[in-house]
Amino acid sequence: MRNTFSSFVFLMLALTTPALASPKRPDFQANWQMGSNEAFVAQTSDGWVLPLYRFTPRIPASSGRRLPPVVLCHGMGANRFNLAQTGPSNLAAWLASRGRDVFVVELRGAGRSVELTPGSSSESKWDFDFDTYREKDVPAILSRIKEITGSPEVDWVGHSMGGMLLYAIAGHGGGFSGDVRVRRGVAIASPGMIDDLPLRVGIMLRLATIFPGNQLPNRLWLQTVSLFYPDFVPDNEASLGFKSNYDPMFARAFVANVGANVSRGLARQVSVWNGRGGIYSRDGRVNYTADLAKSSVPIRFIGASKDYLASQASVQKAFDAAGGEKELTFLGKAFGSIRDYGHTDVVAGRFAALDSFPLVESWLSESAARIARKD
């Protein structure tokens, strides 16, 4: 297993050093504004309050016509900073600077949804999984965006699990969630199956079966990682990617801020997917990956050459399953890039604005070729 020994040592250090909650810990909240100029909330049918951070267009759209809002959705165990961090690698601000109306969302349990939702610390509130996101959070978010903008369509960009939600909408809902349609989508580092997981991730999923509460402390884990970052962290840490791809001026603050706790139900559902060749509904009856064949939503799939969480084979699996217009691009030296990428540096690293952001914008603006191909 890649990085097995160093990851195991790092895991043991992090789990056995509670005293690291010291005054030297980075300030996890102060001065972390990501450039949004409006903020809204969406409320789910079961009482979660979900933040929507809006980046309004800075210039007219390059296409010369009005395009629908863009939704940016974070991955599992992450929050708004996943796709809208302070610094140059802010996809939301980047798209807004090119004329798009952008909404960065936080699903239940992530970021400010916890402080905004009454009773969010209760065990019952954390009894949710992937299907809950699809059935409750996504419809609430899209309905609210329609209310704000008047648009019955959105473009959807998701990183990791955020892209997997795109699969579940596009294939199992025909592109519709509630009364809003996903017009075009981009899935970045989003696997179509779960396999060959790194040691730490496998351990966390197994812990989900015996953990006494409904919240797995992923936020504390990443805050602990930030104390060791970058010196005692593997060169390509499974969830973060390559250290050299981050701006050293704010890398530790990003690591400290980007984490969110994970519900035990979600971790259990993902653990069931492991080795099954697809991503499934909680009852196992719906294979969201296979159902991508029913999709008419044009999707660009972006993978990273050295991603240990969304392997090339797992991204290829989703691409091969998808119906309709599609394109697959891998970023890495083996595919002609001047650098390799891991899981999160492909969207949050200092080179993302050069390599991956233009792929997102061109696809959503429909300047991409209307021919399915693989790079």
**pLDDT in the model for residue 272:** 92
> How would you classify the pairing of strands 326-331 and 299-304?
parallel
Per-residue pLDDT of the chain (375 residues; tens, 9 = 90+): 444 334 433 443 334 333 333 334 333 343 345 778 899 999 999 999 999 999 999 887 655 568 999 999 999 999 999 999 877 789 999 999 999 999 999 999 999 999 999 999 999 999 999 999 999 999 999 999 999 999 999 999 999 999 999 999 999 999 999 999 999 999 999 999 998 787 777 777 887 778 888 999 999 999 999 999 999 999 999 999 999 999 998 899 999 999 999 999 999 999 999 999 999 999 999 999 999 999 999 999 999 999 999 999 999 999 999 998 999 999 999 999 999 999 999 999 999 999 999 999 999 997 543 433 444
**pLDDT in the model for residue 2:** 45
Give the domain ranges of the chain: 4-370
Residue type, 173: G
Identify the CA nearest to 85 among candidates 26, 39, 34, 37: 34
Measured from the Cβ of residue 112, the count of other Cβ atoms closer than 10 Å reads 16
Both tokens assigned to 111: 């970021």
Please check whether residue 182 is in contact with residue 153, taking contact to mean a CB–CB distance below 8 angstroms.
yes
Identify the CA nearest to 368 among candidates 360, 335, 102: 360
Residue type, 194: I
**pLDDT in the model for residue 97:** 93
Identify the CA nearest to 343 among candidates 155, 166, 130, 191: 191
How far is 204 from 266, CA to CA, in rounded Å? 12
Say how many Å lie between the first and final Cα of the chain, rounded. Answer: 27
For the chain, the 3-state helix, strand and coil shares in percent, each to the nearest 5, are: 35, 20, 45
Task: Give strand pairing partners of 71.
Answer: 103, 156
- The predicted model scores a pTM of 0.90
Burial of 284 (0-12, 13-18, 19+ CB in 10 A): exposed
Please check whether residue 126 is in contact with residue 107, taking contact to mean a CB–CB distance below 8 angstroms.
no
The CATH class given to the 4-370 domain equals alpha beta
CA separation (Å) from 316 to 300, 343, 370?
12, 15, 19
